[in-house]
Amino acid sequence: MTQPAPAARPSATVPGAVHRLVDVPGGRIHLLEQGTGPLVLMIHGFPETSYSWRHQLSAVAAAGFRAVAVDVRGYGRSSAPSSADAYRMTALVGDNVGVVHALGEETATVIGHDVGSAIAADSALLRPDMFTAVALLSVPYAPWNAAVRPTDGFARVGGSEEFYVSYFQQAGRAEAEIGPDVRGWLAGFYTSLSGDTMPPPGTDSPFFVPAGGSMRERFTGGALPSWLTEAELDLCSAEFERTGLTGALNRYRNLDRDWEDLAAWDRARLTCPALFVGGALDSSTTWMADAIADYPTTLPGLVSSHILDGCGHWIQQERPAEVNAILTKWLRTVHP
């Protein structure tokens, strides 16, 4: 039986959307909502918030859906538990389940970007009764592998330097780098991973930290990417200046716990109707090319897969019109 929807208020930053705070077993989740129809739940990545879906909310709503973009636990106005292990994957999937229930719904289509792609995939994997279709942006689906502990695997990736995931896993280290200049760090991170402003091929990657160094020393300088205005950067950085980055970084600090928690899903296929959209210039697409090639086995419900030429990591913000067209076509396919 559905429950009445919680009170909402208009958003000042995303025209047509409303803000809502909903209670879930793990605390509370802030979300942006627009439209009516089948529920479509959007999960952002690092370091973003529900605002990263500002271009999709109206398009998905206009296509006949109830579009909802959440602030993941630890971000924005959602709860931010102090314990690092509160950010394990099972807790984040539980938050998504709680949001669906709080909105009076029984099922949802889930869309995720970056680390939100993994949260979306695992939501569909763990609760296929509730999350009946999944769209993955930028980060491909790769089944859990019981043979390789994540921390060990990422340590090997770094070689003589340190892979960014290993860097983020150390409590307090990235916070010490980011904290003195949150806006400048975010600007550098967004710019370095964007298709029109990323470092040229052959230069040192911002994903690898030199011994004794920091990530930001390899960020691209100069103008912001074309998709991000100074005002939008101000809004994004203000959220992280208020909350800090620890809650966001705690996602990376739970990968080994996830590996243990989800051992029963070793090499599990994700069988629901699915969509993948990646950027041709995004390292996630190139590094995980084998995962994409394995989709006939690992993602047998795949409806379509798209690689956008010239596009970097922030795909739904870099190419909103293209991504909206792909998403709405797919949504109408899985909800005829």
Q: What's the pLDDT at 215?
A: 95
Residue 44 counted as domain residue: yes
**Total domain count for the chain?**
2
Q: Is 113 a catalytic residue?
A: no
What span, in angstroms and rounded, lies between the C-alpha atoms of 116 and 46? Answer: 8
Q: What's the pLDDT at 2?
A: 47
Residues of the chain with pLDDT under 70: 1-7
Same domain, 160 and 273: no
Same domain, 156 and 194: yes
Same domain, 303 and 235: no
Q: What's the pLDDT at 6?
A: 56
DSSP secondary structure string, 78-133? S---SSGGGGSHHHHHHHHHHHHHHTT-S-EEEEEETHHHHHHHHHHHH-TTTEEE
Q: What's the pLDDT at 12?
A: 72
Q: Is 261 a catalytic residue?
A: no
Place of tokens 């069988």: 271
Domain, as residue range, for 160: 150-249
Render pLDDT for 263-304 as a digit per residue (tens, 0 to 9): 999 999 999 999 999 999 999 999 999 999 999 999 999 999
**Active-site residue (options: 114, 122, 258, 282):** 114
Residue 116 has phi, psi (to 5 degrees) of -65, -25
What pairing do the DSSP bridges indicate for beta strands 108-113 and 39-43? parallel
Tell me the two tokens of residue 332.
Answer: 């109408």
Render pLDDT for 216-235 as a digit per residue (tens, 0 to 9): 999 998 899 999 999 999 99
**Active-site residue (options: 19, 44, 113, 313):** 313
For residue 12, count CB atoms less than 10 angstroms from its CB and return exposed for 0-12, middle for 13-18, buried for 19 or more.
exposed
List of E strands, 280-328: 302-308
Tell me the two tokens of residue 321.
Answer: 């019109």
Same domain, 19 and 127: yes
Same domain, 121 and 36: yes
Q: What's the pLDDT at 154?
A: 92
